[in-house]
Amino acid sequence: MTSSTTTPLAGQPERPPKPQGEVFRRYDQTLNMWISFRTLEIGPGLKHDLALYHRWQNIPRVAAFWDEAHDITVHQAHLEQLAADPHCLQLIGCFNDEPFGFFDVYWALEDRLGPYYEVDPYDRGLHMLVGEAHHRGPHKVACWLPALMDYLWADEPSTRRLVSEPRADNAKMIGYLQQFGFEHVRDFDFPHKRAALMMCHRR
Protein backbone atom coordinates (compact mmCIF):
# COMPACT_ATOMS: atom_id res chain seq x y z
CA MET A 1 0.00 0.00 0.00
CA THR A 2 1.41 3.39 -0.96
CA SER A 3 1.00 6.21 1.52
CA SER A 4 0.57 9.82 0.47
CA THR A 5 3.01 12.45 1.69
CA THR A 6 1.79 14.51 4.64
CA THR A 7 2.44 18.15 5.46
CA PRO A 8 5.69 18.27 7.46
CA LEU A 9 5.79 19.45 11.05
CA ALA A 10 8.24 22.16 12.16
CA GLY A 11 11.73 20.86 11.54
CA GLN A 12 10.46 17.73 9.80
CA PRO A 13 11.41 17.09 6.18
CA GLU A 14 8.67 16.10 3.78
CA ARG A 15 8.68 12.30 3.80
CA PRO A 16 8.42 10.46 0.48
CA PRO A 17 5.56 8.06 -0.22
CA LYS A 18 6.12 4.56 1.06
CA PRO A 19 7.50 2.09 -1.48
CA GLN A 20 5.58 -1.00 -2.48
CA GLY A 21 6.88 -4.49 -3.14
CA GLU A 22 10.50 -5.60 -3.03
CA VAL A 23 12.93 -2.87 -1.98
CA PHE A 24 16.23 -4.77 -1.68
CA ARG A 25 17.80 -8.01 -2.92
CA ARG A 26 21.32 -9.41 -3.06
CA TYR A 27 23.08 -12.75 -3.10
CA ASP A 28 25.04 -13.86 -0.05
CA GLN A 29 27.92 -16.10 -1.15
CA THR A 30 28.67 -17.29 2.39
CA LEU A 31 25.14 -18.62 2.91
CA ASN A 32 24.58 -19.41 -0.78
CA MET A 33 21.21 -17.69 -0.41
CA TRP A 34 19.36 -14.61 -1.58
CA ILE A 35 18.48 -12.04 1.09
CA SER A 36 15.62 -9.68 0.24
CA PHE A 37 13.24 -7.25 1.87
CA ARG A 38 9.74 -6.45 0.67
CA THR A 39 7.02 -4.25 2.06
CA LEU A 40 4.48 -5.85 4.36
CA GLU A 41 1.11 -6.42 2.71
CA ILE A 42 -1.91 -5.71 4.86
CA GLY A 43 -5.44 -5.03 3.69
CA PRO A 44 -8.57 -6.66 2.28
CA GLY A 45 -7.78 -10.11 0.98
CA LEU A 46 -4.13 -9.94 2.12
CA LYS A 47 -3.92 -12.27 5.11
CA HIS A 48 -0.56 -14.02 4.68
CA ASP A 49 1.65 -11.36 6.27
CA LEU A 50 -0.87 -10.79 9.06
CA ALA A 51 -0.81 -14.52 9.87
CA LEU A 52 3.01 -14.50 9.91
CA TYR A 53 3.19 -11.47 12.17
CA HIS A 54 0.57 -12.91 14.52
CA ARG A 55 2.38 -16.25 14.78
CA TRP A 56 5.77 -14.65 15.31
CA GLN A 57 4.56 -12.24 18.01
CA ASN A 58 3.06 -15.14 19.96
CA ILE A 59 6.33 -17.10 20.10
CA PRO A 60 7.43 -16.93 23.76
CA ARG A 61 11.00 -15.80 23.02
CA VAL A 62 9.66 -12.97 20.82
CA ALA A 63 6.91 -11.99 23.25
CA ALA A 64 9.49 -11.72 26.05
CA PHE A 65 11.10 -8.72 24.32
CA TRP A 66 8.34 -7.28 22.13
CA ASP A 67 5.46 -7.73 24.60
CA GLU A 68 3.01 -7.96 21.69
CA ALA A 69 1.45 -11.40 22.20
CA HIS A 70 -2.13 -10.50 21.28
CA ASP A 71 -5.18 -11.75 19.44
CA ILE A 72 -4.97 -11.54 15.64
CA THR A 73 -7.59 -8.79 15.52
CA VAL A 74 -5.34 -6.61 17.70
CA HIS A 75 -2.41 -7.33 15.39
CA GLN A 76 -4.46 -6.48 12.33
CA ALA A 77 -5.50 -3.12 13.76
CA HIS A 78 -1.90 -2.39 14.77
CA LEU A 79 -0.46 -3.23 11.34
CA GLU A 80 -3.15 -1.21 9.58
CA GLN A 81 -2.28 1.76 11.79
CA LEU A 82 1.42 1.38 10.97
CA ALA A 83 0.65 1.07 7.27
CA ALA A 84 -1.15 4.43 7.38
CA ASP A 85 1.73 6.14 9.22
CA PRO A 86 4.16 7.90 6.82
CA HIS A 87 6.97 8.01 9.38
CA CYS A 88 7.56 4.24 9.43
CA LEU A 89 7.90 1.39 6.95
CA GLN A 90 7.21 -2.28 7.64
CA LEU A 91 9.32 -4.87 5.84
CA ILE A 92 9.31 -8.65 5.59
CA GLY A 93 12.78 -10.17 5.34
CA CYS A 94 13.19 -13.26 3.16
CA PHE A 95 15.86 -15.87 2.55
CA ASN A 96 15.40 -17.35 -0.92
CA ASP A 97 11.95 -15.70 -0.88
CA GLU A 98 10.92 -17.50 2.34
CA PRO A 99 9.76 -14.96 4.95
CA PHE A 100 11.81 -15.14 8.12
CA GLY A 101 11.34 -11.85 9.96
CA PHE A 102 9.61 -8.52 10.44
CA PHE A 103 11.45 -5.19 10.37
CA ASP A 104 9.93 -1.84 11.26
CA VAL A 105 12.06 1.12 10.14
CA TYR A 106 11.16 4.65 11.14
CA TRP A 107 12.17 8.28 11.06
CA ALA A 108 13.43 8.88 14.60
CA LEU A 109 12.36 12.54 14.64
CA GLU A 110 8.69 11.56 14.56
CA ASP A 111 9.11 8.48 16.75
CA ARG A 112 8.86 8.18 20.53
CA LEU A 113 12.68 7.83 20.55
CA GLY A 114 13.22 11.34 19.20
CA PRO A 115 12.89 13.25 22.51
CA TYR A 116 15.48 11.02 24.22
CA TYR A 117 18.54 12.21 22.30
CA GLU A 118 19.73 15.02 19.99
CA VAL A 119 17.91 13.72 16.94
CA ASP A 120 18.69 14.66 13.35
CA PRO A 121 15.75 14.99 10.93
CA TYR A 122 17.08 12.13 8.78
CA ASP A 123 18.04 9.67 11.52
CA ARG A 124 16.50 6.27 10.75
CA GLY A 125 15.59 3.74 13.43
CA LEU A 126 14.94 0.04 13.25
CA HIS A 127 13.02 -2.62 15.15
CA MET A 128 13.93 -6.23 14.31
CA LEU A 129 12.18 -9.56 14.77
CA VAL A 130 13.35 -12.95 13.47
CA GLY A 131 10.35 -15.26 13.61
CA GLU A 132 11.53 -18.47 11.99
CA ALA A 133 13.76 -20.52 14.29
CA HIS A 134 15.72 -22.13 11.44
CA HIS A 135 16.80 -18.67 10.30
CA ARG A 136 18.17 -17.62 13.68
CA GLY A 137 21.84 -17.49 14.63
CA PRO A 138 24.87 -15.25 14.13
CA HIS A 139 25.56 -16.55 10.61
CA LYS A 140 22.12 -15.36 9.47
CA VAL A 141 22.37 -12.05 11.36
CA ALA A 142 25.68 -11.46 9.55
CA CYS A 143 23.67 -11.51 6.32
CA TRP A 144 20.40 -9.74 7.10
CA LEU A 145 21.59 -6.97 9.45
CA PRO A 146 24.23 -5.50 7.10
CA ALA A 147 21.76 -5.91 4.23
CA LEU A 148 19.10 -3.95 6.11
CA MET A 149 21.62 -1.26 7.00
CA ASP A 150 22.80 -1.01 3.39
CA TYR A 151 19.21 -0.58 2.24
CA LEU A 152 18.63 2.25 4.71
CA TRP A 153 21.86 4.04 3.79
CA ALA A 154 21.00 3.81 0.09
CA ASP A 155 17.34 4.73 0.54
CA GLU A 156 18.08 8.23 1.85
CA PRO A 157 21.51 9.82 1.20
CA SER A 158 20.80 12.46 3.88
CA THR A 159 20.64 9.80 6.60
CA ARG A 160 23.85 10.07 8.60
CA ARG A 161 22.88 7.87 11.55
CA LEU A 162 20.95 4.69 12.21
CA VAL A 163 19.53 4.19 15.70
CA SER A 164 17.90 1.39 17.64
CA GLU A 165 16.52 1.00 21.16
CA PRO A 166 16.47 -2.68 22.18
CA ARG A 167 15.61 -3.57 25.73
CA ALA A 168 18.64 -2.91 27.91
CA ASP A 169 18.81 -6.55 29.02
CA ASN A 170 18.73 -7.90 25.45
CA ALA A 171 22.45 -8.60 25.45
CA LYS A 172 22.32 -10.75 22.31
CA MET A 173 20.78 -8.04 20.13
CA ILE A 174 23.02 -5.34 21.61
CA GLY A 175 26.02 -7.52 20.83
CA TYR A 176 24.90 -8.08 17.24
CA LEU A 177 24.40 -4.34 16.72
CA GLN A 178 27.84 -3.58 18.13
CA GLN A 179 29.38 -6.22 15.86
CA PHE A 180 28.09 -4.35 12.82
CA GLY A 181 29.06 -0.82 13.75
CA PHE A 182 26.56 0.39 16.36
CA GLU A 183 27.80 2.13 19.50
CA HIS A 184 26.05 1.57 22.84
CA VAL A 185 25.54 5.25 23.70
CA ARG A 186 23.68 4.86 27.01
CA ASP A 187 20.73 3.23 28.72
CA PHE A 188 17.55 5.20 29.32
CA ASP A 189 13.98 4.73 30.52
CA PHE A 190 11.02 4.63 28.18
CA PRO A 191 7.65 4.55 29.97
CA HIS A 192 7.35 0.87 29.02
CA LYS A 193 10.94 -0.41 29.24
CA ARG A 194 14.56 0.22 30.11
CA ALA A 195 16.23 0.63 26.73
CA ALA A 196 19.71 0.82 25.26
CA LEU A 197 20.34 3.66 22.81
CA MET A 198 22.35 2.18 19.94
CA MET A 199 23.77 4.40 17.18
CA CYS A 200 25.67 3.83 13.95
CA HIS A 201 27.23 6.64 11.88
CA ARG A 202 27.51 6.55 8.10
CA ARG A 203 31.07 5.92 7.02
Residue 20 domain-assigned? Answer: no
- Residue 131, domain CATH: 3.40.630.30
Q: What is the pLDDT of residue 12?
A: 81
- Residue 34: count other Cβ atoms within 10 Å of its Cβ: 15
Residue 19 domain-assigned? Answer: no
Residue 40 domain-assigned? Answer: yes
Residue 156 domain-assigned? Answer: yes
User: Helix, strand, coil: what percent of the chain each, to 5?
Assistant: 30, 30, 40
Residue 148 domain-assigned? Answer: yes
Number of domains in the chain: 1
Residue 158 domain-assigned? Answer: yes
Active site residue 22: no
Cα end-to-end distance, the chain, whole Å: 32
| Chain Cα centroid distance, residue 57 | 14
Q: What is the pLDDT of residue 8?
A: 46
* Nearest CA-CA partner of 47 in 83, 84, 72, 74: 72
Catalytic residue among 68, 98, 132, 165: 165
Residue 1 domain-assigned? Answer: no
Q: What is the pLDDT of residue 14?
A: 87
Query: pLDDT per position in the chain (203 positions), as tens?
Result: 223 334 445 568 889 899 999 999 999 999 999 999 999 998 766 668 999 999 999 999 999 989 999 999 999 999 999 999 999 999 999 999 999 999 999 999 999 999 999 999 999 999 999 999 999 999 999 999 999 999 999 999 999 999 999 999 999 999 999 999 999 999 999 988 999 999 999 98
Which structural domain range is residue 52 located in? 25-201
